[in-house]
Each structure stands twice: as C-alpha cells, then as structure tokens.
Amino acid sequence: MSPSSWLLKDTLTDKGLAALRAPFRVYKTLRPTLAKTAGGRGWTFEKICGRAGPTLPPFRLFRLHLFYQFNIIPEGDTVKTPVFTGTATALATPFAPDGSINLKTYKAQIKYQLDCGTDALVAVGTTGENAVLSRDEHVKLMECAVEAAAGKVPVICSTGSNDTSYCIKTSMEAKKCGADALLLVTPYYNKTSQSGLIRHYFEILDAVGLPAILYHIPARTGLKVKPETFAELSRHPLVVGLKEASGDVSYCAEISALCGDDLPVYSGCDDLTAPIMSVGGKGVISVLSNILPTEVAKMTKLCLENDFEAAYKISKKYHKLTKLLFSDINPLPLKAAMKLLCRDSGVCRPPLYSVDDGLYAKLREELINLKLINS
C-alpha cells in the first residue's frame, strides 16, 4: 500500500506502516493529495494534537498526524535536523557607562564572531544578563542579533521563563524578530514536576511553532530533569536539542543513549565540551568563545571529526582560563577578561557588580601566559 492510498482509504496495514516509514522525499510528491485529504477530513492542529496550536499547511499537518497518531518520523525527515553543530557563542550584553545597552558594541561583537567562524549565536541568555533586561530591551537585542547575523549563522534567542504564558509571549516576539530557534531554560524558583515540565514545554512549542533547544542547568534553577523526561520531550518534533549544563558527563551519556538523534546534546560547560562530544554531543553553547571564538570553533570541529586527541590539546591549553571564567558568577569574569582584551562590554548590571582585585589579577596573568595580551 502506498502512502497515497493509505491517505485516501484511512487504513493502516503492515504494508501501509512500512510505506509510511519510506524516505521522507516520498511525501514531497503528495502535496495535492495531502491538501485534498487534510481539507476533506478537517484536519487542524487541535484535532491532531489534542490542544490548541498554530494554523499549519496540509503538508505539516500530515507530518504531525504521523508523529502524534502513529509515532512515526519518516526516514530522512528534517524535523530533528540540529539547529547547528559545533560552536554557538552565548553573547554577552554590552552596557554603556549610563547603564543603557550599547547596540553598536553588540553589533561589533557579532561581526567578530562571524569573522572568526562561530557556527551560531545565542542572544539574551544567562551570559547576556537576561534576568536584568526589560521586555523592550530583550526584544531590541533579539532584533539586533538577527539583523547583525544577516542569515550567515543561526540565531537562537533565549526566551525561557518560569511563567509559561510569559514565555509564550516572549517566544512569539523572538519569532517576529526572525529567530531561527529558541533556548528554553527549565522553570526556576517555583519549578514544576516532571510531568508539569513536559506540559510547560509542549504548550510553548505548540503555541509558537519554532524549534527549541532545551536548557538544563540545575545549579541555577533547582530543577533536575530525569533522562526519561528528556526522552519524552524529545518526541516533540520541535524539540531539536538540549543544552546540558549539569556538569555530569555520565548523565549526558545516558541522555544520548536514551534519546539518540531525537535529542542532539550540546555542552553547556566550556570545560566539558570535548568530554560531552566524545559521548555523542553535537557541540557547545559557549561562554569562552566570546574571547576565543576561533579556538573553540576549531576544538568542536576536531571533535566532530573524531580527532579527540587534538581537541583535548586545545581544551587543556585553555583549561585554566576556562576555570577562571567560572570562578565567579557568569558573566562577571567574562566581562573582566573582555576588558583586558580591549573588547570592553562594560560592567554588569546589579545585583552583579565586578570581580574582586584578586580574580582580575589572575585573569590578567593567565591572558599574559597565553600571549593574548602584553605584560
């Protein structure tokens, strides 16, 4: 039974099931049939998924029908294509002396990243101090990042919140700005249960319709997610990655083994990039690449090529600097290092102030040792 005849007859034999698992290119020839079938059956997102959602074309509705009703993702489907592989820089937000956002410096930072071969950009994340940005500032930075990237690399906008409704609104703003994907941290402070987490994410994704990388950082959120929960979350077509920042490589390996290609894993810890990629990770969302974009991009490229011996040499060379960048609350040490490197992004907004003199001296000493600045 061909996919076309199954669509028209509404039956699902063993042969029909095998046909539905055919390479995804088969379905590209069925657009007229899909349009007729979707219209005739009154398919909508809500009827297929059991909850309210966006208006989608017949072809997309059919993909959702396969996924939700029969748990089928056709071979070669692009639903789980990673947003990026390699290095995504978690951009710092530069502030002027009066505390306002310095968009000129922000654009210069992005140009520097593009010139150095960074594979993707993450705007207004933790490193971008999103917790102290107004809604208007958040939107302005997302717009600026998309505009400055000019389609050269994917722009991932951090819009996660512990308020599901607010997260949907901010994520819709990211979509309007032209973001390629969302970065969604797990709810913090009020947190939620494992089942509540699934509902939280599914409601956001269904309402917004953009791919999302989930963000797991229990040290900041107080919420530890079970690998089995990530396996369930990975069933959603729009969940296209996980930024894993628990610091536990064996936990990452368990998630990779459980979810496979349904959930690309990215290191959220610069000191664990190579180890996490050695157990199946696809790259890193990096703080270090703000100051060493070429080196971090080279390291992840070597990992993707399975040359871990060379990758570990790079990791070892910058290990002390990486540790110093996380020896105080991020992005305090990062902004101090950027200042020393003459790529000043200003100070942090309160309640973050500045690093102490001792840490500043250690950062300066290590940058000198690495020959990144003069003594």
Return the H-helix or E-strand segment holding 184. Answer: strand 181-185
Is there a single domain that holds both residue 182 and residue 284? yes
Q: Alpha carbon 44 to chain centroid distance?
A: 28
In a domain, 328, yes or no: no
Of 264, 292, 309, the one marking the end of a domain is 309
Is there a single domain that holds both residue 103 and residue 19? no
Contact assessment for residue 204 and residue 185, using Cβ atoms and an 8 Å cutoff: no
Q: Can you give the residue range of the structural domain that contains 17?
A: 3-70
Of the candidates 282, 197, 287, 288, which has an alpha carbon nearest to the alpha carbon of residue 241? 282
In a domain, 372, yes or no: no
For the chain, 375 residues long, the average pLDDT of each consecutive 10-residue run is 33 40 42 58 67 56 60 47 94 94 97 97 98 97 97 97 96 96 96 95 93 96 94 91 95 89 94 95 97 98 96 97 97 98 94 96 98 94
Q: What are the tens digits of pLDDT across the range 303-350?
A: 999 999 999 999 999 999 999 999 999 999 999 999 999 999 999 999
In a domain, 302, yes or no: yes
Kindly report the pTM of this predicted structure: 0.80
Is there a single domain that holds both residue 166 and residue 38? no
Of 288, 309, 330, the one marking the end of a domain is 309
**Predicted local confidence at residue 218, as pLDDT:** 95
Is there a single domain that holds both residue 51 and residue 90? no
Is there a single domain that holds both residue 21 and residue 131? no
Is there a single domain that holds both residue 64 and residue 182? no
Is there a single domain that holds both residue 64 and residue 106? no
How many structural domains compose the chain? 2
CATH at residue 250 = 3.20.20.70
Is there a single domain that holds both residue 157 and residue 241? yes
In a domain, 117, yes or no: yes
Contact assessment for residue 224 and residue 193, using Cβ atoms and an 8 Å cutoff: no
In a domain, 32, yes or no: yes
In a domain, 29, yes or no: yes
Single-letter residue type at 353: Y
Is there a single domain that holds both residue 18 and residue 145? no
Is there a single domain that holds both residue 29 and residue 167? no
Positions marked catalytic = 215, 243
In a domain, 127, yes or no: yes
Is there a single domain that holds both residue 196 and residue 300? yes
10 Å Cβ neighbour count for 102? Answer: 18
Of 256, 274, 309, the one marking the end of a domain is 309
Is there a single domain that holds both residue 176 and residue 305? yes
